[in-house]
Structure 1
Amino acid sequence: MVTKASKQNAKNFKTLWVRFDADSSDKHQLFFKEHSIRNQEPEYPRKRTLFVLNVPPYATIDCLSNAFANLCGNVQSVTFSNTKGFKTAYIVFKQESSLDKAMEFSKDFIITLKSEKSICLTGLERWCKEYNDTLYDEQLMKKDIEECIASYDKQIQDHIAQEKAAEEDNDGWVTITGGKKRGQFAPSRKESTIGKVQQKEEQRKKKKQLLNFYTFQIRETKKQNLAELRKKFELDKKRLQELKQKRTFKPF
């Protein structure tokens, strides 16, 4: 059932057509309007943002950006609010005049996404490109690591220089501080912390040991248990005799 409100909302949108390439017989209708709401988001500025509905799944950010840039002017960004099926797009132009050109499209105008200037990848080529984009360049990674190490070394040197400057006061006296054996900036360990570390190390060693794995180990374990039981039995007998002697009735 089509309500009066939905008809009014549909009237606010303009339409145009989009196709994959010039040889495509299939085309999709786009619904678009200027994105202008009461609580305007900063990433979608007023008078420069185009709100587009029914964007087909094969349309990517790059090909959509290139298509509108060639027709209207420089595009600042293209954002999809949903990535499954037909999508909703926010196209932000760099100039307000570009949005005015987009709003002048006729309802029969057709946008072709793939051309000699604009490459729109689909299928296996698109998946390969998306996978390659996730890989990090080895040279860039090496450069970032070297910059990070150099920055860390500089921080260490600055810290050492500050400590040396703080040790000497105006009168020429030198403050002697305790040296740290586990590194220049390693915090001192408490006894409780050392105990926990040793306990974890002992538990790790016990897990590595194979107890009662061989036949002679099982035999020796049984002998030790039997000897401990006999020793405990003798001690219990001796303790019982002592209790009996203490309980002897002595009226006088």
Structure 2
Amino acid sequence: MAPSKKKHAKTTEACVIPGGFTVLSLQFNSDSEAQHKLYVKEHKVRAERSSHRPLDRTLFVLNIPPYCSQDVIKELFSQFGSVQSVELGDHPGSFQQSGPRLSRVFRPAEKQGFKVGYVVFQNSSGVTEAKSHPNNVPLIVSTGEHPVKTGVHKWIQQYTQSFTESDKLQKIVDSFMEDYDKRKEEESERQKQEAEQQQEDEEGWVKVTKGNKSTKARPHSEAANQKAIQREMRKKQRKELMNFYTWQHRNTQKEHIAELRKKFEEDKQKISLLRAQRKFRPY
């Protein structure tokens, strides 16, 4: 049978798959034949009421390849409308950093892999335009105006950018030390003022000032502070020794009661023996 000469018509409609996701074709450059698929959907998580992800202007994106950074995603989706912000992460949800914040000079290594993202548009029409984009019109990642480097060229670029210029690093260090010296001077000045307020007058009186609401009131003399600290330390050590375990505390109480009873019986025997040995009997 001869093959049919009828050509398949190219669809100009958006491709929507089960789950409400719209499929967007992604092409690295205009000469590339391979295409990658992005899955986009309007962000409608009612439990997440954060101001940086408005429900009517946020687009949820899945299957973002590793060579697409935040700037690349922002440039790709800018054709649908003005993009306000882009967030990329390994899993859906909050991308807030859980650990301590590091300096902008020392950045942790990023995980390489496919990511999920949230694209926030300035207007809600951007979400509608992205969802109605036809599947047969791919989005071009690397263009002449905005080239994207991959492979060895990308590694060389990242390695070069990992070094910080000595002048910039020196400015950051100087700024940090200036802030540190300023905080130390303010702290020493505050301690000096407190010491002056706590000095005893000629008659031995100490001026008591009202402290902050968050701090507990305590005596304003050094001797009283030392006594209070020693008293608390002795109390804490005694409590740790006596109440290290509940069963130890109970056994200690039982042994103490048994010792008192034993001493009571010994005292009774001594009293009875003294009465028996008494020689003077007036009757």
TM-score in same-fold range (> 0.5):
yes
Does residue 47 of structure 2 align to residue 39 of structure 1?
A: yes
Seen in structure 2, the aligned counterparts of structure 1 residues 103 and 72 have a Cα distance that, compared at 3 Å, is same
Q: How many residues align?
A: 174
Q: Determine if contact 1:60/1:120 at 8 Å carries over to the other structure.
A: no
- Counterpart of 1:24 (choices 32, 55, 60) is 32
Distance 1:56 1:112, change over 3 A: same
- Is the aligned partner of 1:13 residue 2:21? yes
RCO comparison, higher one (Cα < 8 Å, 6+): 2
Tell me what 2:89 maps to.
80
Deviations 1:176-235 (A, max 9, x none): x87xxxxxxxxx99xxxxxxxxxxxxxxxxxxxxxxxxxxxxxxxxxxxxxxxxxxxxxx
Does the alignment pair 1:164 with 2:173? no
Q: List alignment gaps of at least 5 residues for structure 1.
A: 1-7, 179-187, 190-252
Q: What residue in structure 2 maps to residue 104 of structure 1?
A: 132
Q: 1:64 maps to what in 2? A: 73
| Amino acid in the other structure paired with 1:95 | N
TM-score scaled by length of structure 1: 0.55
What percentage of aligned pairs have identical amino acids? 24
Report what 2:175 is aligned to. 143
Distance (Å, rounded) in 1 between the aligned partners of 2:198 and 2:161 = 50
Name the residue aligned to 1:242. none
Q: How far is 1:132 from its partner?
A: 5.4
Written as runs of structure 1 = structure 2, the 5 A alignment for 1:188-207 is none
Give the distance between the partners of 1:95 and 1:133, measured in 2 at CA: 34
Residue 149 of structure 2 is matched in structure 1 by: 121
CA offset at residue 133 of structure 1?
5.4
* Corresponding letter in the other structure for 2:22: K
Residue 46 of structure 1 aligns to a residue whose secondary structure is coil
Residue identity matched to 1:30? L
Alpha-carbon shift at residue 41 of structure 1 (Å): 5.5
Shift of 1:131: 4.6
C-alpha distance in 2 between matches for 1:119 and 1:148: 42
Distance in 1 (alpha carbons) for counterparts of 2:174 and 2:149: 31
Distance in 2, matches of 1:92 and 1:63, equals: 14
Tell me, in whole angstroms, the C-alpha distance in 2 between the residues paired with 1:168 and 1:84.
Answer: 65
SS in 2 for 1:167: coil
TM normalised by structure 2 equals 0.50
Asked if 1:89 is matched to 2:117, the reply is yes
User: How far off its partner does 1:63 sit?
Assistant: 0.9
Q: Deviations over 1:57-85 (max 9, x none)?
A: 32222211222124421231222335554
8 Å Cα contact 1:76-1:93 kept in structure 2: yes
Hey, what's the Cα distance between the residues in 1 that align with 2:194 and 2:78?
A: 55
Deviations 1:133-168 (A, max 9, x none): 555641223212222222222221232133224437
